[in-house]
């Protein structure tokens, strides 16, 4: 198994905090977000860890880590960063956003699934948005599950559901089996050669999010399995998010 950490973005909403450093290098109680993730992956015996860099890539420098730079990080988005590591999609893999901090038990839950494509999901997600003035509920990456627990939609700001459906939040952690990695790469390469114009919730394939690619897989009859977790998870997207976490005892 391998791990990919997506750390190419600027994190512009954090202002001067990320002017000279990638968002994933923000330190929480003495350790950067990326450093914490690397340690978790190593604790579970994952030796091949790939970090996709972009903004201020020279400031991410950990031993025994593979670095791949998204040379077009300023004009592309998370999905393109992921596929910068296309040549590494030869085995089962866990993918995580760099701007999150989480209990390592979530990774254990992901490792234990036999699904080809799986995403970490929190069903009690609305509580974490209380008091967040600069990161409202509408910016959550949501999943919509039917009565059988199958994901039928994944995108930002899902607010409507039927009485027998559930809405959760995608936590920016995904697992692909070897087969799942091959399938998602095959689909991406097919799209790369012919797709034009809008792509699901984004203006183009080049500017799309991971959630757009996952929706494409769902629409192509691939099952995207929700791994429901109750373990701690937190996203840092604004100064307010950072200040709130620093005042808490979580992850200390």
Mean pLDDT, each 10-residue run in order, the chain (252 residues): 95 85 93 97 97 96 97 96 98 98 97 98 93 89 97 96 97 98 98 95 97 98 98 94 88 82
Q: What's the pLDDT score for residue 204?
A: 97
The candidate with the shortest Cα–Cα distance to 118, out of 214, 6, 221, is: 214
CATH class of 2-119+170-225+232-247: alpha beta
**pTM reported for the whole predicted model:** 0.96
Residues 6+ positions from 174 with CB-CB distance below 8 Å: 94, 95, 96, 117, 118, 119, 120, 210, 214
């Amino acid at each position: 198994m391998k791990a990919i950490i997506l750390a190419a973005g600027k994190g512009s909403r954090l202002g001067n905090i990320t002017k000279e450093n990638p968002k994933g290098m923000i330190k929480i109680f003495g350790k950067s977000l990326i450093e914490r993730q690397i340690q978790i992956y190593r604790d579970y015996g994952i030796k091949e860890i790939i970090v996709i860099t972009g903004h201020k890539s020279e400031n991410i420098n950990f031993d025994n880590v593979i670095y791949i730079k998204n040379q077009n990080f300023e004009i592309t988005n998370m999905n393109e960063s992921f596929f910068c590591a296309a040549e590494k999609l030869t085995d089962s893999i866990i993918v995580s956003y760099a701007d999150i901090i989480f209990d390592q038990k979530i990774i254990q839950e992901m490792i234990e699934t036999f699904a080809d494509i799986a995403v970490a999901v929190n069903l009690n997600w609305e509580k974490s948005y209380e008091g967040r003035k600069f990161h409202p509920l509408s910016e959550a990456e949501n999943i919509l599950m039917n009565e059988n627990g199958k994901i039928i939609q994944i995108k930002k700001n899902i607010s409507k559901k039927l009485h027998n459906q559930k809405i959760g939040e995608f936590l920016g952690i995904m697992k692909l089996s070897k087969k799942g990695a091959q399938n998602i790469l095959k689909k991406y390469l097919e799209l790369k050669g012919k797709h034009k114009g809008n792509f699901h919730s984004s203006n183009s394939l080049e500017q799309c999010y991971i959630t757009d690619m996952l929706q494409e897989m769902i629409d192509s009859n691939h099952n995207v399995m929700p791994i429901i977790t109750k373990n701690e998870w937190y996203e840092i997207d604004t100064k307010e998010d950072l200040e709130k976490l620093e005042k808490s005892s979580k992850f200390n």
